[in-house]
Structure 1
Amino acid sequence: MSSQQVSSAAPPGPRFRLPLHWLGVLPFAAFTVLFLIMPTMKIVIGAFQTPDGAFTLDNIRGLYTPSIMSAYLISIRISLASAILGCAIGFAVAAAVVLGGLPQWIRGPLLTFSGVASNFAGVPLAFAFLATLGPVGLVTVFLKTQLGVDLRMLGFNLLSFWGLTLTYLFFQIPLMILIITPALDGLKKEWREAASILGATNAQYWRLVAFPILLPSFLGTMALLFANAFGAVATAIALTGSSLNIVPILLFAQIRGDVLGDPHLGYALAFGMIVVTGVANALYIWLRARSERWLK
């Protein structure tokens, strides 16, 4: 057999093949690029541009005006209040179901409801609270006519700081339950048994063993709830309109083109929100990674 025949019989060289197992990720990648990365880049670039497209820092300097700084302060306070209360209440509910004496059949419906309620926001949530606790809401009217309790005279107003915080708790508490339940499930029975053998009381077990292990997960979830509340736009606008000076409402007023609207100042406001929520989410990821090392 000639060398020419041998070379012709040799197997072909390696050819490039499209990795088909990546095709399933393409829709997600396209969605992420089109609806997350590209809009974010437009906001970041627009925050440092003039209407003519020139580079400027005036938009960032504009964030330091008293009205905008006040809006950021109120938004941070609402986010902190709803995150702290949501974590505290959600942790108590999850602990009662996972570690307490409640029947196990409650766990399934609770987690199912939490999954739905954690995504229930926007106009429907605002309408539900207005119909319940608004000036002529069902509970407000019932308390006033049947029990003689006037919520308005007691200082409660749904279109206020605590009113918006209470509304946010509707989706903050379920989100806390969903995230902290696996962490509570990760507490090994051997740890409690070892603590009991060594003479530790139940309070000492929680203070010295369980709570330090759960603390990174707890703090990380609090950071996530803070970012979740800080970025909530539709619920705040639908509930309070322009009566409460928070960043999402101020941003909406700038972007939609009011008489005093400045789209590039709106980009700067959105850029500030991205920075705040980005720091909170990064803190959540870091703390979550620390807690998973203990709970594996």
Structure 2
Amino acid sequence: MSYLVALPFLVFVGIFLVYPTILVLAGSFQDSSGAFTFQNLTDLTKGVYLQAFIRSVELSALTALIGAVFGALLAWAVAVGKPEGLLRRIVVAASGVLAQFGGVPLAFAFLATVGFQGFVTQFLRDNVGIDLFAGSAWLFELPGLTLVYTFFQIPLMVIVFLPALDGLRPQWREATASLGGTSWTYWRHVGGPILVPPFLGALLLLFANAFSAYATAAALVSQGSPIVPLQIRGFLTGEVVLGQENLGKALGLGMVVIVSIAMGVNVLLQRRMSKWVR
């Protein structure tokens, strides 16, 4: 009877995760007539589809690295403060909100702020003489996506990395000092090795988060499909790719594989970390 409690969740996962994944997997190996083929996967290794994967990986890796570094620094600033202090509560609460603040609202916020007619853009143009869009519509290209993605990557890093910082016990530093060790000795042989696995795990989580993001990019980029999620959108909504819908499923399968690898490595790193925080 205890397993019945999980039944609604299992049904939900089966309908909205397992079943679509099976459809994507099966469709990736079928042509327009339903015959078995490897052509869809072969097409992913060349042309615009390969470039889309490369740009998606570059965008995800860059925003994950920026978010991990600045998010870790912010989490450290919070961790060394008062455990129940006002600053910690504000940062944690804000990070929880901003980490989920994506999609169309986030895109609109940046358009209203630094878009062609955003108030910051107009202020700099009229009062300082600086044109943010001189010669390039960067906000609607990969540089703009990098900036926008970083907005929710940093708060997410704070949320996932702060528990690791809280797991550093004061007794470890005291033991190092009692044995004649310096701060460098502590971070080199104790704190650093303990924090590296959770930092890398959080980095992989941020990579997967950016790699699978769709709504924000879709709201900003109206022309072209520079990354894989937008390529898939073209196969779902476009009229010039009739008969090639399964190629879109192959793109989805490629995303599933990449994200699964990142999350698999993350699980291994979390297992290594768990022995230090017991």
Q: Shorter chain as normaliser: what TM range? A: over 0.9
* Shift, 1:257, TM fit: 3.6
Q: Residue 269 of structure 1 aligns with which residue?
A: 251
Identity fraction in percent:
43
- Structure 1 stretches (4+) deviating beyond 4 angstroms? 100-103
Q: Distance in 2 between matches of 1:266 and 1:244?
A: 13
Normalised TM-score (structure 1): 0.89
Query: What whole-Å deviation, never above 9, does each CA across 1:208-228 have from its counterpart, x for those lacking one?
Result: 321110100000110111011
1:200-279 equivalences under 5 Å are: 200-243=181-224, 245-261=226-242, 262-279=244-261
User: 1:287 is matched by which residue type in structure 2?
Assistant: L
Are residues 137 and 102 of structure 1, via their aligned partners in 2, closer, same or farther at CA, if it must alter by over 3 Å? Answer: farther
SS of the aligned residue for 1:295 comes to coil
User: 1:61 is matched by which residue type in structure 2?
Assistant: T
Q: Residue 274 of structure 2 aligns with which residue?
A: 292
1:50-65 equivalences under 5 Å are: 50-65=31-46
User: 1:75 is matched by which residue type in structure 2?
Assistant: S
* Shift, 1:279, TM fit: 0.5
Establish whether residue 282 from structure 1 lines up as the match of residue 229 from structure 2. no
Gaps (5+ residues) in structure 2? none
Establish whether residue 84 from structure 1 lines up as the match of residue 65 from structure 2. yes
Query: What whole-Å deviation, never above 9, does each CA across 1:138-197 have from its counterpart, x for those lacking one?
Result: 222222222222222386721122210111112111111111111001001111111222
Conserved? CA contact 1:257–1:263, under 8 Å = no
Q: Residue 6 of structure 1 aligns with which residue?
A: none
Are residues 145 and 108 of structure 1, via their aligned partners in 2, closer, same or farther at CA, if it must alter by over 3 Å? Answer: same
Establish whether residue 110 from structure 1 lines up as the match of residue 91 from structure 2. yes
Are residues 67 and 125 of structure 1, via their aligned partners in 2, closer, same or farther at CA, if it must alter by over 3 Å? Answer: same
SS of the aligned residue for 2:55 comes to helix
Q: Distance in 2 between matches of 1:31 and 1:102?
A: 37
Normalised TM-score (structure 2): 0.94
Moved more, 106-115 or 268-277: 106-115
Q: Residue 187 of structure 1 aligns with which residue?
A: 168
Are residues 136 and 52 of structure 1, via their aligned partners in 2, closer, same or farther at CA, if it must alter by over 3 Å? Answer: same
Gaps (5+ residues) in structure 1? 1-18
Number of aligned positions between the proteins: 277
